[in-house]
Amino acid sequence: MRRRIIAGATAAAAVLVAAPVVAFRSRGGPADSPPPPAGATATVRRETLSGSVTVDGKLGYGEQVPIIAKAPGTVTWLPRVGDTIDPGEPVLRADNLPVVLLDGVLPMYRELRPGAEGPDVALLERNLRDLGYAGFTVDDEYTGLTARAVRRWQKHLGREETGVVDPSWLVVADGAIRVAALPVRPGAAATGEVLEYTGAESVVTVDVEADGAGWARPGVKVTITLPDGKRTPGAVASIGAKASPPESGEEPTIPVTVALTSTAALGKLREGPVTATYVSEQRRNVLTVPVAALVALAEGGYGVEVVEGGARRFVAVEVGLFAGGKVEVRGGGLAAGTTVGMPT
């Protein structure tokens, strides 16, 4: 991962880069020159200060996952790369009969008939309901009413109306899928890896340095900047469980997948380089001043020039988070609304 923008560092160097800092004594005026003339001022504010980090990412469809079919016979039809397949639709045809996609995470691993019980029954019944079949209770029990609905489904698919579900003509994935690759062609055996898929929706993948991935938790908000400069919101959807081996001179990384909250800004764009910005650190209800208001005190540390009426005096402060051109300050008797000078 290459960090492109970093805000939120608390190192003194950040102050020196952000604005010119003049050395003053906290009492008795400047160290080597008279006090600067009255000039620009700023107001101490109480607010939430957020530091952010921007990293490189890739817009695409995420990791490619293989589908393993158990259908006997020969592949007689396959979808095209880029096609979207919804639950209830065929992912291929074997001996000209459909092998159908179901929505779920548990593979169909056994034959289902009246009397069967378990989570695979519940998965099947949820899919039947979502496909518009009714007349049974969605639970984990395969009853005669379930079998009746299955026969109607089998008739629609052009399969023998047995009321018994054979796992060889079903595959399971989490929602709609997009065909990413076809390792086989019509005429090949229908058993084995028949295609690779991704999710159907565009996502952003970010390779995060393993030792800096603590921010990445499901649901954390992320702002995606597209190649044309447009921004669109997203949220962390998943974090990889395995760190990739480091390349020469680089740290090992973990893939973080960001789901887009809205795809309107994408237009026709579906793949390409993007950046992802996340909040790395946040301070709530703190006093802030512009970074440019800080001065380096001759005795060490930092201070601000407090303006009260026609008088000006320098007071020492402790600095905290730097972000967005502002800095968290503590001490010096500061309060929200205090006026501070802006050194020239």
Domains plus CATH for the chain? 3-50+283-341 (2.40.420.20), 54-62+202-281 (2.40.30.170), 65-199 (1.10.101.10)
Q: Which residues contact 317 (CB under 8 A, 6 or more apart)?
A: 294, 301, 302, 303, 304, 329, 330, 331, 332, 334
pLDDT at 249: 66
Contact (Cβ atoms closer than 8 angstroms) between residue 149 and residue 161: no
| Residue 302, pLDDT above cutoff 70 | yes
48: its two tokens: 């939430």
| Residue 80, pLDDT above cutoff 60 | yes
- Of the candidates 336, 335, 323, the one whose C-alpha atom is nearest the C-alpha of residue 279 is 323
Contact (Cβ atoms closer than 8 angstroms) between residue 262 and residue 234: no
| Residue 22, pLDDT above cutoff 90 | no
Point out the least confidently predicted range of 20-24, 45-49, 291-295, 319-323. 20-24
Query: Which pLDDT tens digit goes with each residue over 143-157?
Result: 999 999 999 999 999
pLDDT at 26: 40
Q: What is the number of other CB atoms lying within 10 angstroms of the CB of residue 183?
A: 11
Contact (Cβ atoms closer than 8 angstroms) between residue 110 and residue 170: no
Q: Give the pLDDT band of residue 10 (cuts 50, 70, 90).
A: very low
pLDDT at 246: 63
pLDDT at 333: 84
pLDDT at 331: 86
| Residue 299, pLDDT above cutoff 50 | yes
| Residue 120, pLDDT above cutoff 60 | yes
Task: Calculate mean pLDDT across residues 318-338.
Answer: 91
pLDDT at 243: 78
What is the rounded average pLDDT for all residues in the chain? 87
CA dist., res. 276 & res. 62, Å (int): 15
> What are the distances in angstroms from CA 175 to CA 114, 149, 150?
26, 22, 20
CA dist., res. 146 & res. 165, Å (int): 10
Query: Which pLDDT tens digit goes with each residue over 65-79?
Result: 999 999 999 999 999
Contact (Cβ atoms closer than 8 angstroms) between residue 185 and residue 92: no
| Residue 111, pLDDT above cutoff 50 | yes
pLDDT at 6: 37
Q: Give the pLDDT band of residue 316 (cuts 50, 70, 90).
A: very high
Task: Calculate mean pLDDT across residues 116-140.
Answer: 97
The number of C-alpha atoms within 13 Å of 195 and in the hemisphere containing its C-beta is: 29
Contact (Cβ atoms closer than 8 angstroms) between residue 23 and residue 298: yes
Tokens 């702002």 locate to 223
> What are the distances in angstroms from CA 49 to CA 31, 206, 291, 341?
32, 25, 13, 21
Point out the least confidently predicted range of 99-108, 166-175, 252-261. 252-261
Query: Which pLDDT tens digit goes with each residue over 184-203?
Result: 999 999 999 999 999 999 99
| Residue 284, pLDDT above cutoff 90 | yes
